[in-house]
Structure 1
């Protein structure tokens, strides 16, 4: 599913964001990525969906070697990777339905399939009644649910969730986690960066701790391991 072999990422200013990382993530796993700010978590996540390219080493995602991937093939790889951001990144002038459907339109899915699948994921995230609403008419939790629906509408093998509960209140955060667990249960691999100690310690999954660009800890059903 996902494999990193001696992966390094060095930026132009000489910063080593990732240092000699080796990792395997199997299909249908749920992986928390934790660690201090500036530890390399964001770079780690971005390399998986090829927003960043490794300086050295190899990254395989769904059989593709991302380091050697030609630019024109990147969109094909990303069709199997859904990304959820902390700040939602919805298109403000499009309705909820249109925001989700757009992810299928860009890969030129048939119109009938777009309508059917968009309504299916709206039902899954419990937002069918909000299909014609604009993002500004939604709460933060509802906007994040739209972002999740958009990320899963093309049935990706992997979801990359970067602080998906970071801007949400505790009650809403638990609702989002329940939804992510349901998506994982249906067969999607989830990699989630988070600073939420309570969530990690309550919903026990595999925990990958990154410090100074290296894997400091990799535990099945692990704990958060850092002070708030």
Structure 2
């Protein structure tokens, strides 16, 4: 599913983000990526959907060598990787339905399939009754649910969530986690970067801790392991 071997990443400004990452993530796993700010978590995640390329080492995602992909092949990789952002990244002038449908339209799905699938995922995230609302008419938690629906609408094999509860209150965060957990229970691999001690210690999953660009801990059903 995801395989990284001896992965290093140094940015053009000289910042060394990853310093020799080795990891395997299997299909259907739920993995938390934890660690201090600036440890390399975001770079780790961005490598998976080829937002950045490694300086050294190899990254395989769904049996594709991410390093060697041509630019025209990157969209194919990303069709199988749904991304949930902390700041939602919804299109403000489109309705909830249209925001989710847009992800299917860009890959030229059939209109009848779009109608069926969009309502299906909105029902999954509990927003079927708000399909015609605009983003500004929703709460933060509801906007994050739309972001999740958009990320999963094309049946990705992997969902990446970068601090998906970072801007949400605790009660709303629990709801978002239950949605992500249900997606994982249906067989989708979920990789989530988080600073939430409460979430990691409550929703038990694999925990991978990154510090100074290195994996320092990798535990099945682990604890958060930091103050916070």
TM-score by length of 1: 0.99
In the alignment, which residue of structure 1 is the partner of 2:78?
A: 78
Q: Give the secondary structure class of the aligned counterpart of 1:224.
A: coil
In the alignment, which residue of structure 2 is the partner of 1:18?
A: 18
Q: How does 1:1-228 map to 2 (within 5 A)?
A: 1-228=1-228
Return structure 1 stretches of 4+ with deviation > 3 angstroms.
none
Q: Cα RMSD between the aligned structures?
A: 0.5
**CA distance in structure 1 between the aligned counterparts of 2:136 and 2:190, rounded to whole angstroms:** 28
**CA distance in structure 1 between the aligned counterparts of 2:202 and 2:137, rounded to whole angstroms:** 32
Q: Give the secondary structure class of the aligned counterpart of 2:27.
A: coil
Q: How many residues align?
A: 228
Shift of 1:15: 1.5
Q: Give the secondary structure class of the aligned counterpart of 1:78.
A: helix
Q: Give the secondary structure class of the aligned counterpart of 1:33.
A: strand
Q: Give the secondary structure class of the aligned counterpart of 1:75.
A: helix
**CA distance in structure 2 between the aligned counterparts of 1:118 and 1:137, rounded to whole angstroms:** 19
Shift of 1:16: 1.2
Which string of whole-angstrom CA distances, capped at 9 and with x for unpartnered residues, describes residues 103-136 of structure 1?
0000011111011100100111110110000000
**CA distance in structure 2 between the aligned counterparts of 1:153 and 1:93, rounded to whole angstroms:** 20
User: Which 5+ residue runs of structure 1 have no aligned equivalent?
Assistant: none
